[in-house]
Amino acid sequence: MIAASGASTVLVELGAVLLVLAVCGRIAARFALPSIPLYLVAGLLLGEGSPIALQASTDFIRIGADLGVVLLLLLLGIEYTPAELSRGMRTNWRAGIVDFAANALPGVAAALLLGWSTVAAVLLGGITYITSSGIVAKLLSDLGRIGNRETPIVLSVLVMEDIVMALYLPVVGVLIVGATVVEGSIAVALALAVVAVALVVSLRLGTKVSRLLDSTSPELLLLTLLGATFLVAGLADKAKVSAAVGAFLVGVTLSGQIAERGRELLAPIRDVFGGLFFIFFGLQIDPADLPPVLVPAVLLAVVGAATKAGTGWWAARRGGIGKPGRRRAAAAMIPRGEFSIVIAGIGTAAGLERDLGPLAACFVLVLAVGGSLAMRFTD
């Protein structure tokens, strides 16, 4: 039976891929490093041209990777409560602007120097801009810095990045479609209006929406959340605003108890599919494309580390933190990770610059590892 043997090959390969993820995760944990860089490397090794290249399961992994992006963005949206987002917007907008300007511009400039299109430049700006809240939150907890006085300052900058993502992702979605200036402006305005509505709904009606969807049964809650998220993400994709944006907005709209329990229930599922996403991102990169982007990627990483560290130092000094605390805040801003890869993934899926994927992979590899080591080193 051909169908059965096809299914068994998919199972074997998928099992192998998940075990590779598990081994990578364990190695990373042993050295107290984030697992994302190792996932990416594993993807590179399993990709085209490699002796252990995957055959049958790439379609499944592609779908898994799509779900991974949707779940990553859903949980990013749930991560902060609407109250935290609105307080962040009121009190930290200045830090948010400095952070965005200092860290997106190097990416944009680098892309323009490389002769890339404007859209690719906007994407690379996003890649260099966004700090990995996942890596940073985990390390702050592991290093026992949750109680430190500079930690609220670091976290509030991350909240601002979350808000900026809510505006940035729809704009990117529109730009990628390649609309004319007028069409583009209308679509951007529309996207921003949708984000505004989602935030207002979340602040005003969040409890009602959440109560409508909530259930005491974990099974029903999980089915409802996943169903609503995939549906909205799919519709958003059809409306050309990218599934990631739709999922993010669902996350922002949820609040209260449902957000609390949803986070707990969804985190392990996100980790599985998120792992597939990082592997898939690596799979798509031809290792032969890596050497040419190595030098620009490392240079960009050095600049990106410096601008982020500068932002952290500046924000901590404004908050009245002493020198050692400023050093810790500076290092804590450096790690880039999942969201840089998500942004790069949006670009590669749209078939933009061939070098975007490899460059982003190298950039994240250097800064996920380097940023984590820097955080440890400042302890």
Provide the binding-site residues for other proteins, judged by CB under 8 A: 79-80, 84, 87-88, 133, 137, 144-152, 155-156, 158-159, 260, 264, 321-322, 324-325, 328
Tokens 């259930």 -> residue: 215
First to last CA, the chain: 60
Nearest to other proteins of 150, 355 (CB atom): 150
Nearest to other proteins of 248, 281 (CB atom): 248
The angle that helices 243-253 and 58-79 make with each other, rounded to 10 degrees, is: 30
**CA–CA gap between residue 252 and residue 322 (Å, rounded):** 34
Least distance in Å: CB of 91 to other proteins?
A: 10
Least distance in Å: CB of 133 to other proteins?
A: 7
Nearest to other proteins of 261, 347 (CB atom): 261
Nearest to other proteins of 107, 206 (CB atom): 206
Least distance in Å: CB of 65 to other proteins?
A: 25
Query: Amino acid letter at 75?
Result: L
The angle that helices 93-113 and 151-177 make with each other, rounded to 10 degrees, is: 50
SS3 50: coil
Least distance in Å: CB of 56 to other proteins?
A: 40
Nearest to other proteins of 323, 354 (CB atom): 323
Contact 367, 305 (CB under 8 A): yes
**CA–CA gap between residue 80 and residue 256 (Å, rounded):** 10
Least distance in Å: CB of 128 to other proteins?
A: 22
Nearest to other proteins of 292, 322 (CB atom): 322
Least distance in Å: CB of 370 to other proteins?
A: 22
User: Which one, of 22, 74, 83, lies nearest residue 236 by Cα?
Assistant: 74
Least distance in Å: CB of 40 to other proteins?
A: 25
Least distance in Å: CB of 146 to other proteins?
A: 5
Q: Where are the alpha helices (DSSP H) in the chain?
A: 2-30, 36-46, 58-79, 82-91, 93-113, 118-129, 133-142, 151-177, 181-200, 206-213, 218-238, 243-253, 256-283, 290-318, 323-332, 338-349, 356-377
Nearest to other proteins of 315, 346 (CB atom): 315
Contact 104, 128 (CB under 8 A): yes
Nearest to other proteins of 99, 150 (CB atom): 150
**CA–CA gap between residue 167 and residue 192 (Å, rounded):** 6
Contact 281, 365 (CB under 8 A): no
Tokens 């399993």 -> residue: 46
